[in-house]
Structure 1
């Protein structure tokens, strides 16, 4: 237990530092969202049987508001797995995604995309679309004044076979059961 605590404290500290940076006014909205996206991969566990040699695919579907902000994630390790950025063009291509960010341009297709993600266990769905977690998404970005936060649907995460670290749950502005 002590070893687990010893290794989780630096992770929590780095997430907290990211959060502190997120509140700085010099950061753009999508710099903050990109930092959160990376940290989500560090505090969520996939139970789909992937090994350390399997990449952790982070997919951006629809418009890409991040520009080159996600580029530093490419090849970086998270939980021993190399992050790989993908930009699928058709819904069928989301099957291999571990993380699926659904862009604003997909507001009309969000229900279909969430159904497809649910049919492939182990996809963490993330978006800044309004009421995203109420529609079945797992992590939704929300703005509180000028601060970017996130909310989590614990039920959707469990149904997807994902385990969310309790420290990440504590940082969420809202957790739906």
Structure 2
């Protein structure tokens, strides 16, 4: 239990330096998203100087909050934001936030993304039960997340054990 507390403190301390004080639900979700990029390893090595592209597919619930991530560095790679308009345009993404409006095409999106080693994240209910890798879950006023480890492994992604310990639920 103490170890979980220390890990949570570490993650939250990163949030503080990234955002000063975390106020809104989407500031918390953006901070988690940033930390996910730090604790997940892609099996395909990145080229030197390559960027790590975070995409929002569908309606952007973050507003301007994600702009604070643009240019930050994660695992030696500068983060950049992109907003693809079609499924074929997500090929340039390493991280894909799937907007709630894309729920009816979820199977097609996650299959396409995972075949291209793209980390999928969403707040769509039951996202991880339907093939997504990380799903945000709201418990009262607290934002948590669930992880589908099987989907991550199928996509060729390795999730740090510290992140797995913090997840509300892990599907193995």
TM-score by length of 1: 0.86
Structure 1 unaligned segments of length 5 or more: list them. 1-9
Structure 1 counterpart of 2:130, from 128, 135, 144: 135
Partners of 1:155 and 1:134 lie apart in 2 by 11
**1:142–1:148 Cα contact (<8 Å) kept:** yes
Aligned residue for 1:123? 118
Partners of 1:35 and 1:153 lie apart in 2 by 20
Structure 1 counterpart of 2:109, from 84, 109, 113: 113
Q: What secondary structure sits across from 1:85 in the alignment?
A: strand
Query: Do the aligned partners of residues 163 and 57 (structure 1) sit closer, same or farther apart at CA in structure 2, a change above 3 Å counting?
Result: same
Q: What secondary structure sits across from 1:88 in the alignment?
A: coil
Structure 1 counterpart of 2:57, from 57, 61, 67: 61
Query: Do the aligned partners of residues 64 and 151 (structure 1) sit closer, same or farther apart at CA in structure 2, a change above 3 Å counting?
Result: same
Aligned residue for 2:3? none
Structure 2 unaligned segments of length 5 or more: list them. 1-5
Q: CA RMSD in A?
A: 2.2
Aligned residue for 2:97? 101
Query: Do the aligned partners of residues 75 and 176 (structure 1) sit closer, same or farther apart at CA in structure 2, a change above 3 Å counting?
Result: same
Partners of 2:16 and 2:122 lie apart in 1 by 21
**2:7–2:162 Cα contact (<8 Å) kept:** no
**1:111–1:135 Cα contact (<8 Å) kept:** yes
Question: Aligned-pair distance for 1:113?
Answer: 0.7
- Name segments (4+ residues, structure 1) moved above 2 Å: 10-14, 16-21
Question: Aligned-pair distance for 1:108?
Answer: 1.3
1:32 matched to 2:35? The reply is: no
**1:12–1:167 Cα contact (<8 Å) kept:** no
TM-score by length of 2: 0.88
**2:73–2:79 Cα contact (<8 Å) kept:** yes
Q: What secondary structure sits across from 1:70 in the alignment?
A: helix
- Aligned residues between the structures: 164
Q: What secondary structure sits across from 1:100 in the alignment?
A: strand
Alignment of 1:67-82 (within 5 A): 67-82=63-78
